[in-house]
Each structure stands twice: as C-alpha cells, then as structure tokens.
Amino acid sequence: MKKALFIAALLLPALCFAQSKKQLALQAIELQRFEAMTTKDTALLRKLLAEDLTYLHSNGLLENKEEHIANIGTGKLVYRTMEPSEMRVRIHGKSAIVNGIVLVTGSLGEKAFEVRLRYTDVYFKQKGTWQLAAWQSLKLEDKK
C-alpha cells in the first residue's frame, strides 16, 4: 500500500494543475490522510480531522469525526486502497478547497466495494495545522 501511495505521490503532480509549494504541501497532507485511512492510523486521523468534521460518503452515509474514526478503527469501514488520479488545491487564506478523483476499494460491514469518486473537501488551518473540516463525494460512472 505504501508503495502505491509513493507512486501516486510521484505521479500526482503530473496529473494536476501547476501548483504552489503551499498547494503541494496540502496535497501531501491529503495523501497522508488517505494512507492513514487505509492503515487504520486513527492517531494520525485525530490530528488531521477537525473537531466539527462532516464526512458525507457517496452512499449518503454522514459521519462526524468520532464516528468516522470509530468506523475505521473498528473495521466496520475498511479502506484497502485509495488511489488518486486527479487533485486540485485552491488556497484562500486559512481555508483550502480540494477537488479530485480517487479510486477506492474496501468494505462496509461485509459488503466489498470498488468505487471511483469525484470529491470536494474543505480544509482549515488552525494553530498552524491544516485539518479536514468537510468531505463530500459522488460516484462516477465506470469508464467504458
């Protein structure tokens, strides 16, 4: 998994618009979050997620910070892979909007899934640290 994220981190800048150092740093945070989700690193997720997080999945499931971390930590929601193919970061002062496309595999309960998502997240910088405040995604049609 780490190898896949490393390769994605290397290829991602080529897939994105030309971005500043701040934007690239936020992309790296987003990739760290994806890795934390696939490795069940709940300690890192606690640092990366805002206290008032709203996490809206493509299936309509809405979670707050504690629910999101608990679902990942207990294995109710398992992320096996999160492979971004597109990511664009726009920074506005102490807030940032990230739009992208990610291929996600995993399981919810006993049901496995593989889904290509278009997503929007919002980050806020608090005490010098970027934290995810909102995620919303929708399923994309399979490429034919």
Assess if residue 28 is contained within a domain: yes
Q: Cβ(37)–Cβ(82) under 8 Å?
A: yes
- Whether the per-residue pLDDT at 140 is higher than 90: the answer is yes
Q: Provide the domain count of the chain.
A: 1
In a domain, 90, yes or no: yes
At residue 141, the pLDDT reads: 87
Is 8 part of any domain?
yes
Average confidence (pLDDT) over 117-139: 96
Residue 15 lies in a domain: yes
Domain membership of residue 69 (yes or no) is yes
Residue 144 domain-assigned (yes or no)? no
Residue 142 has what pLDDT? 75
Domain that holds residue 35: 2-139
Lowest mean pLDDT among 12-16, 89-93, 97-101, 137-141: 12-16
Task: Give the list of residues 6+ apart from residue 21 with CB closer than 8 angstroms, or none.
Answer: none
- For residues 62 and 16, the model is more confident at 62
In whole angstroms, give the CA distance from residue 78 to residue 105. 8
pLDDT at 35: 98
Scanning 17-128, the segments in alpha helix (DSSP H) are 21-38, 42-48, 65-74
Is 97 inside a domain boundary?
Answer: yes
Q: What's the mean pLDDT in 37-53?
A: 98
For residue 23, what is the domain's CATH number? 3.10.450.50
